[in-house]
Amino acid sequence: MSTDASPAPRGGTHDGVASRDLRSLPKAELHLHIEGTLEPELVFALAERNGIPLPYADVAELRARYAFDGLQSFLDLYYACMAVLVTEQDFYDLALAYLARAHDQGVRHAEIFFDPQAHTPRGISIDTVLDGLGRAMADAAARWDISGGLILCFLRDRPVAEAERTLESVAPRAHDLLGVGLDSAEDGFPPSLFEAVFGRAAELGLHRVAHAGEEGPPAYVAEALDLLGVERVDHGVRSIEDAALVQRLVADRVPLTVCPLSNRRLNAESSFQALPRLLEAGLVVTLNSDDPAYFGGYIADNYAVVADEFALDDTVLAGLARNSIDASFASPDRRAALLAEVAAWSAR
């Protein structure tokens, strides 16, 4: 790898100058908010189907709002657009559209976040959400051999008691979930608030992940590890500001689910530019798309943009794909099969 920041004519689908199309690289997606895959065209289609008025004249006017100056300005639009998601079929259509794109982008395993607290206050049951998403995942497994599961995220800027009620409401069907996560506005909402609810999730046999160190400080990353027992850190890029924390993450091989285009679109250019330092430090970095409908690209586009920006060669890119599979919650057999696919890609 070179850390030279000058653009290199290689990489993938992002700018059309690829020597090798990174959609062909088998990979796992570990940081993907299904509501963040809601493309403007689908917003309009679902609004019409459900008779929901929109404050935008057309797709172009909605797309013109996609200029964010930070996490909160994105979240405001993200939550507003979700108002069109109402029925089980809506959640199915949303997820199947994502999975079709994921298939095209080389995703072989997808661990998908969803935000029930963005839906239940609108009168939509968590069963409606889970049934629609689950049916799409089953269809994607049958059609495209994409494995994966669903990760229920708590909204950290809403009351902790609401997170607890959400988890209890879904406890009887915990087997339909892979794990729990923590997302939404980070600053001022430390992981420590959610220690008890993550403890309960562990009792239910669920995996645990959390967003930390996206806009919040490195101390939130340490809290997520110490108090929530997370197995991966979502984003985690600001860990680079704390050398002792970096050492710990490297020693314990804690994966980071990094989302380059998200960082860039949310005006966190210093986070985008941190990638070479994360790799040089020996961190277990994975690349992901976060909210691809809003941030200008799906997962292979994220691989391609960093390949171009940081002149990453095929060996480094295959290593990032291997990390994504190693860091997944797939079964040992499935991980071995997918790692063999990456090895075949490298040998080609």
Which residues form the interface with Zn ion (CB under 5 A)?
Answer: 290
Q: What is the largest CA-CA distance in the chain?
A: 53
As measured in angstroms, the least distance from the Cβ of 235 to Zn ion is 7
* 110, β-bridge pairs: 29, 148
What separation, in Å, do the N-terminal and C-terminal C-alpha atoms of the chain show?
Answer: 20
Quick check: is 214 catalytic? Answer: yes
Nearer to Zn ion, 78 or 198 (CB): 78
The catalytic residue among 29, 214, 215, 309 is 214
3-state secondary structure of 173: helix
Residues 184 to 213 in contact with ligand HPA, rule: CB under 6 A: 184, 211
Contacted by 264, from Zn ion, ligand HPA, none: CB < 5 to 8 Å by type: none
Nearer to Zn ion, 10 or 31 (CB): 31
| Cα dihedral value 62, 68, 74, 76, nearest 10 | -70
39, 88, 290, 309: which one binds ligand HPA (CB under 6 A): 290
Indicate the DSSP class of residue 39.
Answer: -
Asked if residue 257 binds ligand HPA (CB under 6 A), the reply is no
Asked if residue 291 binds ligand HPA (CB under 6 A), the reply is yes
As measured in angstroms, the least distance from the Cβ of 183 to Zn ion is 5
90, 183, 308, 309: which one binds ligand HPA (CB under 6 A): 183
CA distance 5 to 102: 28
CA distance 192 to 277: 28
CA distance 298 to 287: 11
Asked if residue 238 binds ligand HPA (CB under 6 A), the reply is no
The answer to whether 25 touches 345, Cβ cutoff 8 Å, is yes
29, 111, 214, 308: which one binds ligand HPA (CB under 6 A): 214
For the chain, the C-alpha Rg in angstroms (whole number) is 19
The answer to whether 231 touches 208, Cβ cutoff 8 Å, is yes
Contacted by 214, from ligand HPA, Zn ion, none: CB < 5 to 8 Å by type: ligand HPA
Write out the catalytic residue numbers.
214
Positions that interact with ligand HPA (CB under 6 A): 33, 36, 71, 78, 183-184, 211, 214, 262, 290-291
